[in-house]
Amino acid sequence: MKIYTSYFGNLKKLMEGGVMPINISLYPPKWFRGSSLMYLAPKSFMLAKNISEEYYTKIFNEQIIPAVNLPMLVKDIESRSQGKDVALLCYEKPGEFCHRHLVASWLNKNGYVVEEFGGISEKPVERIEVKQASLFD
The structural domains of the chain, with segments of one domain joined by +, span 3-116
Residue 121's contacts (CB-CB under 8 Å, 6 or more residues apart) are: 94, 95
The whole-model pTM stands at 0.84
pLDDT, tens digit, for every residue of 79-106? 999 999 999 999 999 989 999 999 999 9
pLDDT, tens digit, for every residue of 5-26? 999 999 999 999 999 999 999 9
- Which of these, 8, 46, 10, lies nearest to 119 by C-alpha position? 10
